[in-house]
Chains A and B, each alone.
Chain A
C-alpha cells in the first residue's frame, strides 16, 4: 500500500506546537544569558586568576566537554534525587544547559580576551587607569568583537541542543512533537515539521546575530 503524507493532523495542533516553541525559546535565551556570564567569570578566572583558579576552571571545562550533554542532564534529573536534591524537569534542564554552555563559552571568551595586545593594557596602565577602567574601556569592546562569530555559532548549536531536554519530559518543541506523534501516528510528518521549525529558528538567530554585529561592531 502506498503511504500518503498528511500534514493536516500536525498543523491542527498548532497551538500546542507554539507552546513548545515558546518553551524552547525561553530555555535557549535563559541559557545564553546565564551561560555567557558563567563563561565570562570562568574565562576571567582562567586569564587573570591565580593557579588554583586556573586549575579548577580547567577541570570543569574538561569534564563537561568530554561527556555527553544527555548524560549530564540524566545525572542532574535522575541522579541528584538519590542524594536528596530533587529538581523539576525545567530546572534540571536549565542548570545542565548553563553548565554545559558555560564550559564551551569559557574557551571562546578566553581566546577573545587573549586577543587584546598586552601593549594596549600597558598603555592603559601608564595613563593611570584602574584595572576596572582598563577592563571596561580597553578590553571589553574589542574582545567582544573578536569572540562574537564563534560565540554566536555556539549559541545556535545550543538552541538545537536544547531538543535533548525532551528526554526528561520537559515540554519543549521536540517533546511536543513526540506527543503529537503518539496521538496521531503521523510520525514522519511530525518530525519534518519540527525539523522545519528548528531550521527556521536557526536561520532567524543567524539573521539577528548578523544585524547585531553590523549595528554594534562594524562601524
Chain B
C-alpha cells in the first residue's frame, strides 16, 4: 500500500536525524583518539613512529570510506565478532576520521613556534608538561576552525553508513521514499535536515577562523 508523504513522515525523518548525530558523536570520539595519537607520532623525534603514522594517513586518505565500511562490515565475522552495523561503522569511521584529524592536528602542533618548546625546556618542564601546558593550549586555538570543518564533513559522510543498513537519516529517507513513493519530497526534506545541522557549524567555523586571523 502506498501512503501519503505527510507531516508524520517529516517528524519521523527529523527524529531519524538523532541517529546521524549519535553516529557522528561516536565517529568523532573514535577519530579523535586515533587522530591524537597520530598527530603526536607525526611530530615525534623518532623516525619509525613518524613513518608509521605517515603511512597510515597515506593509506586511509587514499581509499574510499565506503571500502572501509564494507571491509569492517564483512571482516567482523572473520574475526569472530557478530556482524553489526553499529560496530562496523564505529571501526570504519574511527579509522577514517583519525587519518584526517591526525593531519589537521599535526598542522596545528607544528604551527606553534618552536621557540615555545625551547622556552618550556629551559624552564625545566618535561616533554609531557611542555605539551600539556604550553603547546596544546595554543594548538587547540589554531585547530578549532578546521576541526569543526571536518566535523561537518563527518556529519555528511555518516550518510554512507546507510549502505550497510545503518538506519540514520539517509536510510530512513530511503525507507520513507519506498513506502510513500515520493522520492523528490523525501530527499529534499532529508537534504534540508542535513543543511540545518551543517550550515550553522560551517558559519561558526568561518567566524572563528576570521577572529583568529584578526588576532594574529
B187 within 8 A of A: yes
A202, B62: Cβ atoms closer than 8 Å: yes
Known: A62-B199, A68-B159, A71-B190. A199 touches B71 (CB 8 A): no
Identify the closest chain A residue to B62 (Cβ): A202
From residue A161, how far is it (CB to closest CB) to chain B in Å? 7
Chain A residues lying within 8 Å of B188, measured Cβ to Cβ, are: 75, 79
A-B pairs with beta carbons under 8 Å apart, 6 shown: A66-B194, A71-B173, A74-B173, A160-B65, A163-B66, A164-B66
What is the interface residue range for chain A against chain B? 35 or more
A83, B159: Cβ atoms closer than 8 Å: no
B67 within 8 A of A: yes
B163 within 8 A of A: yes
Identify the closest chain A residue to B79 (Cβ): A3
Known: A67-B191, A71-B159, A72-B191. A163 touches B183 (CB 8 A): no
B74, A187: Cβ atoms closer than 8 Å: yes
Chain B residues lying within 8 Å of A199, measured Cβ to Cβ, are: 59, 62-63
Per-position binary interface string of chain A over residues 189-205, scored 1 when its CB falls under 8 Å from any chain B CB and 0 otherwise: 00110110011001100
Identify the closest chain A residue to B162 (Cβ): A70
**Binding site of B, secondary structure by majority: helix, strand, loop or mixed?**
helix
Per-position binary interface string of chain A over residues 64-90, scored 1 when its CB falls under 8 Å from any chain B CB and 0 otherwise: 011111111011001111110000000
A71, B187: Cβ atoms closer than 8 Å: yes
From residue A203, how far is it (CB to closest CB) to chain B in Å? 6
Chain A residues lying within 8 Å of B173, measured Cβ to Cβ, are: 71, 74
Chain B residues lying within 8 Å of A194, measured Cβ to Cβ, are: 67
B67, A69: Cβ atoms closer than 8 Å: no
Per-position binary interface string of chain A over residues 42-70, scored 1 when its CB falls under 8 Å from any chain B CB and 0 otherwise: 00000000000000000000110111111
CA distance A181 to B78 in the complex (A): 15
A135 within 8 A of B: no
Chain B residues lying within 8 Å of A156, measured Cβ to Cβ, are: 62
From residue A194, how far is it (CB to closest CB) to chain B in Å? 6
> Which listed residue, B59, B64, B174, touches A161 by the CB 8 Å rule?
B64
Chain B residues lying within 8 Å of A202, measured Cβ to Cβ, are: 61-63
- B residues sitting closer than 8 Å to A (CB atoms) are 59, 61-68, 70-71, 74-75, 78, 152, 156-157, 159-160, 162-163, 170, 173-174, 177, 182-184, 186-188, 190-191, 194-195, 198-199, 202
From residue A58, how far is it (CB to closest CB) to chain B in Å? 12
B71, A195: Cβ atoms closer than 8 Å: yes
From residue A7, how far is it (CB to closest CB) to chain B in Å? 14
CA distance A198 to B58 in the complex (A): 12
Q: Which 4 A/B pairs are nearest by Cβ-Cβ distance?
A: A202-B62, A187-B74, A79-B184, A68-B159
A188, B78: Cβ atoms closer than 8 Å: yes
From residue B40, how far is it (CB to closest CB) to chain A in Å? 23
> Which listed residue, B63, B78, B170, touches A160 by the CB 8 Å rule?
B63
CA distance A90 to B74 in the complex (A): 28
From residue A188, how far is it (CB to closest CB) to chain B in Å? 5
> Which listed residue, B152, B174, B183, touches A82 by the CB 8 Å rule?
B183
A154 within 8 A of B: no
CA distance A104 to B74 in the complex (A): 33
Chain B residues lying within 8 Å of A152, measured Cβ to Cβ, are: none
Identify the closest chain A residue to B203 (Cβ): A62
CA distance A160 to B191 in the complex (A): 22
A66, B62: Cβ atoms closer than 8 Å: no
> Which listed residue, A68, A188, A198, touches B63 by the CB 8 Å rule?
A198
> Which listed residue, B62, B74, B187, touches A198 by the CB 8 Å rule?
B62
A155 within 8 A of B: no
From residue A210, how far is it (CB to closest CB) to chain B in Å? 14
Per-position binary interface string of chain A over residues 151-174, scored 1 when its CB falls under 8 Å from any chain B CB and 0 otherwise: 000001000110110110000001
Identify the closest chain B residue to A72 (Cβ): B191
